[in-house]
Amino acid sequence: MPHILTLVAPPGALSAHLLPGIRQALATLGADCGTPDWLAEAEAVDIPFDNLANEPAMAAARRVLAEAPVDVIAQPVEGRRKKLLLADMDSTIVTSETLDELAAEAGLKDRIAAITARAMNGELDFKAALRERVSMLKGLEEAALERTWATTELMPGARPLLATMRAGGAHTALVSGGFTFFTGRVAKLVGFHEHHSNTLGIADGTLTGAVEEPILDKDAKLATLKRLAAARGLALTETLTVGDGANDLPMLLAAGLGIAYHAKPSVQAQARFRLNHVDLRGLLFAQGYRASEILPG
């Protein structure tokens, strides 16, 4: 069958008892459903279907699931495993917003985090908001960057995601509105082939309060996706993007599989695909990887 509906839940939370109701809901809309195929017991399952578009299939499944902690993705079977991954960093590959945590070193976390939240929800111009937040850190000692890095944690599933996709031949890039100080370290730690981000102004051991131009924003993220795909002779349908903020939305909408990951409300409302209940291994299940194929990283 040409389409797949994938259900993903936290380990042990996906009950087989949910499947008949979902298959019936699809059938009511005219779909022909195949036999469910478990990718991971009680965690991820594929339901093949035909004669129904992906959007109504996802909507029908979500109605049946109601408040159950299960994420739903429907897509074509062909080209399901992607050959290029572009990932946001803050609140996606790492659990924190690194600029907010850096601001804590200056006693400004609450003020700067409030601006970050509005920018990530699309309420503020990203470039202007970034310049404003960084200007507030003028004079902060460079050593604060190292202290912030020491407390930065990877998102669960980040290492398996990168290790498994790289083993499958995918090219991987970290693309962030954050800073090279952090993206370089995260890329090396997790295993990204390359990283792209912004550069903080630093002079005489302190932050200058400036960001070097040009600033990497939503347009630059989309341009990076298109450039890396073209360089490898890939169609955008062969790409996977993941992020949580408004500056990720253009690349999420352009990719064959663009996943809003525990995303801000405005992003959730516009993204075609979203994961709200699972860790980053969910991106692998969405591509049809079985639990036995996922590497620890």
Strands (E), the chain: 3-8, 32-33, 37-40, 44-50, 71-76, 84-87, 171-179, 194-198, 200-203, 206-211, 239-243, 257-261, 273-275
Q: Which amino acid is at 182?
A: F
Question: Do residues 240 and 82 make contact, with C-beta atoms less than 8 angstroms apart?
Answer: yes
User: Does residue 100 have an active-site annotation?
Assistant: no
> CA of 126: how far to CAs of 31, 258, 265, in Å?
42, 20, 16
Residue recorded with tokens 């059938």: 27
Return d(Cα 195, Cα 173) in angstroms, integer: 5
Query: CB burial class (10 A; 0-12, 13-18, 19+) of residue 14?
Result: buried
User: Does residue 219 have an active-site annotation?
Assistant: no
Return d(Cα 88, Cα 186) in angstroms, integer: 11
65-81 CB burial, b ≥16 within 10 A, e <16: beeeebbbbbbeeeebb
Nearest Cα neighbor of 165 from 186, 144, 143, 191 is 191
Catalytic residue from among 46, 71, 90, 248: 90
Residue recorded with tokens 């890939």: 234
Return d(Cα 197, Cα 59) in angstroms, integer: 35
Catalytic residue from among 46, 71, 88, 248: 88
- Give the DSSP letter of residue 234: -
Return d(Cα 143, Cα 120) in angstroms, integer: 27
26-51 CB burial, b ≥16 within 10 A, e <16: beeeebebeebeebbeebbbbbbbee
Q: Which residues are catalytic?
A: 88, 90
